[in-house]
Amino acid sequence: MSSPNQELASYRASCHCGAVTFTIRTPSLSDHQVDRCDCSICSRNGYLLIHLKRADVDFHTDLNNMVSYSFGDKGGAHKFCPRCGSSAMVEFNENEDSELWINVRLIQGIDLQKLNYKDLDGKMMQPIYKAPQIATTPDQSSTPSAVSNFKRYNANCHCGTVTYTIHIPSLSDHQANSCNCSICSLNGYLLVYPERQDVVFYSGYDHLSDYAFGTKMVTHKFCPTCGSSIMIDCNGFAPVGVDPLAINVRMIQDIDLNKLKFRYTDGKNLF
Ligand SMILES: [Zn+2]
Ligand SMILES: [Zn+2]
């Protein structure tokens, strides 16, 4: 947070679809440490947080445009856009002198590679998050490929409404894609690309919200209760004979994002 004599810079921020916009006043982001926490909600929803006084945030759209999601001891309300799923901030109470924790992913024109991060071990914070059990019978009649080196990963959105399994080669052997295009960067996608049949939904698929933009060729799917971005359905727009889904590895139960191998795509300049 700012001290009285520090010069403040203004940054405009918005969710991906633009339904939520605000301006923050803060010391230059190059002087900030941005919290990168591995707790259940930060790692799933891709939060990169700075702490601001509420008075240093001007909303250009109604705060009520966002959905609030709380869990556990209900210490904070996690706010995200119901149209595009971008997680915007964490609010602790509505007092004027309270803090808002702002997700810097929403700051327009930000280069996430250039920020200074402070890694926080939130995973061990009480109460420890318990991922939901995956049911024994899927919602969908889908048979994953019988490929011997495929591993089954259990995954769920934060609130547990959406549960599914992903069948892919071990993540210790293959890279996840970290892309800097607008939607990957704002919603925090880290992607792998299984075939459609290798993602089996056990609950909540019909609950997912859809968001499309630009050419609307692909559909982003996120949980409307907790704001977790689950996947991008390529809707068959892929090489002939392939029908992949782009699946966000952040949802995989007990995943350690620090141990993954990544390849980096310069989507900002490609798409
Ligand atoms: Zn939005
Ligand atoms: Zn959810």
Residue 258 has a pLDDT of 92
Ligand 1 centroid–CA 81 distance in Å is: 5
If DSSP codes are grouped into helix, strand and coil, which group holds residue 245?
Answer: strand
CA distances in angstroms from 48 to 25, 34, 107, 188, listed in the order given: 17, 6, 11, 9
Ligand 2 centroid–CA 37 distance in Å is: 19
Over residues 64-84, the mean pLDDT reads 92
Structural tokens at position 216: 């609307």
Residue 240 has a pLDDT of 67
Which ligand is closest in space to the CA of residue 16? 1
Distance (Å, whole) CA 222 – CA 205: 10
Strands 21-26 and 9-14: antiparallel
Q: Tell me the domains of the chain and their CATH numbers.
A: 9-124 (2.170.150.70), 150-270 (2.170.150.70)
Residue 80 has a pLDDT of 98
Residues in a beta bridge with 103? 49
Which ligand is closest in space to the CA of residue 69? 2
Which ligand is closest in space to the CA of residue 226? 2
Reported in sequence order, the residue ranges of 130-218 that DSSP labels E, i.e. its strands, are 150-156, 163-169, 176-179, 191-192, 199-203, 209-211
Q: Which residues neighbour 149 within 8 Å (Cβ) at sequence distance 6 or greater? A: 169, 170, 173
Ligand 1 centroid–CA 94 distance in Å is: 22
Over residues 235-255, the mean pLDDT reads 89
If DSSP codes are grouped into helix, strand and coil, which group holds residue 212?
Answer: coil
Residue 139 has a pLDDT of 83
Residue 131 has a pLDDT of 93
Which ligand is closest in space to the CA of residue 18? 1
Instruction: Note the Cα 113 to chain centre separation in Å.
Output: 17
Residue found under tokens 């008075």 = 55
User: For residue 163, is pLDDT > 80?
Assistant: yes
Q: Percentage of residues in the chain with pLDDT exceeding 90?
A: 74
pLDDT tens-place string over residues 97-152: 789 999 999 999 999 999 999 999 988 887 889 999 999 888 877 788 888 889 99
Residue 4 has a pLDDT of 56
Distance (Å, whole) CA 41 – CA 81: 16
Distance (Å, whole) CA 116 – CA 106: 16
Ligand 1 centroid–CA 67 distance in Å is: 11
Ligand 1 centroid–CA 270 distance in Å is: 22
Ligand 2 centroid–CA 229 distance in Å is: 9
Task: Enumerate residues with CB within 5 Å of ligand 1 (an ion).
Answer: 15, 17, 19, 81, 83-84
* pLDDT confidence bin for 56, thresholds 50/70/90: very high
pLDDT tens-place string over residues 250-269: 999 999 999 999 999 988 88
Residue 51 has a pLDDT of 95
Ligand 2 centroid–CA 89 distance in Å is: 17
* Residue of 176, 186, 196, 203 whose CA lies nearest to 103: 186
Residue 173 has a pLDDT of 84
Over residues 8-22, the mean pLDDT reads 96
How high does pLDDT run on average in the chain?
92
Residue 145 has a pLDDT of 86
- The conformation of residue 30, written as its DSSP 8-state character, comes to G
Q: Percentage of residues in the chain with pLDDT exceeding 70?
A: 96
Distance (Å, whole) CA 160 – CA 178: 24
Which ligand is closest in space to the CA of residue 20? 1
Q: Which residue has the higher pLDDT, 192 or 4?
A: 192
Residues in a beta bridge with 100? 52, 91
